[in-house]
Structure 1
Amino acid sequence: MPDVRAMREALGLSQRAFASAYRIPLATLKGWEQGRRHPGASAYLRVIARMLDAAREALKAA
């Protein structure tokens, strides 16, 4: 499973900015990073991890 915090920090984004860019509820992102929740969307997170910019651009167009 991808390390969501590491992905976010690699982009230099706040939790709020990352959640907004990738359309993840902020509370969900915080839960993942704090280990209280485990991503059920791990396939989506793997795509983001491998294609950070492409995923963000695709979501902007949607």
Structure 2
Amino acid sequence: MLINPRERYFKNQGIKEGREEGREEGIREGKLEIALNLLNNGYSIDEAVKLTGLSEKDILNAK
């Protein structure tokens, strides 16, 4: 079965967007892990925010 170019374009766009979303989520999860490790090693919440770029709320919600 042949896929018309328009269908192929939108299918490829969906795959591309899914990969990008997955990559962004992976980066965020990595930053949260680092933030929690910082807190567990005696760093303050302010230092964890500064070093990871995450918000204080995001870090505290991950605890």
**TM-score, normalized by length of structure 2?**
0.38
**TM-score, normalized by length of structure 1?**
0.39
Rg larger in 1 or in 2? 2
> Does 1 or 2 have the higher relative contact order (CA < 8 Å, sep 6+)?
1
